[in-house]
Amino acid sequence: MVTSTSIRGLRRSDLTHGIVQVSLDLKTLHDALRMAAIAVEAGADWLEIGTPLVLAEGVRAVRALREEYPTHPLVADLKIMDGGYGEARMYAEAGADAVVVMGRAHDATVQRVCEAGEEFGILVMGDDMGADDRIVEARRLEALGVGMVIHHIGHDHRSAHRELKLSPLTDLPGIVAATTVPVQAVGGLSIDQAVGCPAVGAGVVVFGAPLAIDDETSFTIPEGDLPRILGEAIARVHAAPVRS
């Protein structure tokens, strides 16, 4: 596992095999802690305070998860668009190890989040959602100082153009080739597709909706086979070498 003590300076060369980030896309702290317990038991390396949980519980969720899981890296999916330094600092002080800033934000905002990342020792993840040219955007985000690029095809975008079968896998090889920081692919991937990301060079794999919740709008935990399905998927990622 890449622990919280090393996530800030994460390099591609650190990722010899895939690691797993489970997104807690839930709306109550009770459900988030229950889902986190399932994820950690299944072998998850990182836990993500998903955007619904950020909106519903804020830094309270970070503090609770940090207390429960002191060595697991915590990613706060803030989708920062402005006030970058202050928002990043708030979550860093609560115990987050990483925050997400949107590439659609002004250069100054991305830079201010990166300044907070430097000062408070957290990883800054730059999300390319909505960019017209994903490869150009990935280069821009790295040049501005982010430590990881999230290549993200959003739920609403995919839903509005189902006939196009939009997928982050389309541009993922080009983004990996264009950057030197770790890359993560998010947005509508099946388990098999997500497990295949390390072979393309994207070594931090995210499992969230729809695997971890009933659907992408319900924000509830499914019952049944989730622990087994998640455990098997995580084991497959851990066994997958990351293409250098």
**pLDDT tens-digit readout, 49-59:** 999 999 999 99
Range of the domain at 214: 12-238
Model confidence pTM above 0.85 = yes
Asked if the structure places residue 3 within a domain, the reply is no
Range from 46-50, 111-115, 158-162, 215-219 carrying the lowest mean pLDDT: 215-219
Tokens 């695997």 locate to 211
Asked if the structure places residue 210 within a domain, the reply is yes
Report the CATH number at residue 121: 3.20.20.70
> What single-letter amino acid sits at 153?
I
pLDDT confidence of 2, banded at 50, 70, 90?
confident
Number of domains in the chain: 1
pLDDT confidence of 188, banded at 50, 70, 90?
confident
Asked if the structure places residue 91 within a domain, the reply is yes
**pLDDT tens-digit readout, 100-150:** 999 999 999 999 999 999 999 999 999 999 999 999 999 999 999 999 999
Asked if the structure places residue 233 within a domain, the reply is yes
Q: What percent of the chain has pLDDT over 70?
A: 91
Tokens 């706060």 locate to 76
Q: H/E element holding 48?
A: strand 46-49
CA 219 to the chain's CA centroid: 17
What pLDDT, on a 0 to 100 scale, did the predictor assign at position 210?
46
Contact 116, 76 (CB under 8 A): no
Asked if the structure places residue 19 within a domain, the reply is yes
What pLDDT, on a 0 to 100 scale, did the predictor assign at position 5?
54
Asked if the structure places residue 150 within a domain, the reply is yes
Asked if the structure places residue 230 within a domain, the reply is yes
DSSP 83-135: -HHHHHHHHHHHT-SEEEEETTS-HHHHHHHHHHHHHHT-EEEEE-TT-SSHH
What pLDDT, on a 0 to 100 scale, did the predictor assign at position 104?
98
Asked if the structure places residue 93 within a domain, the reply is yes
Residue 154, φ and ψ in degrees, nearest 5: -70, 155
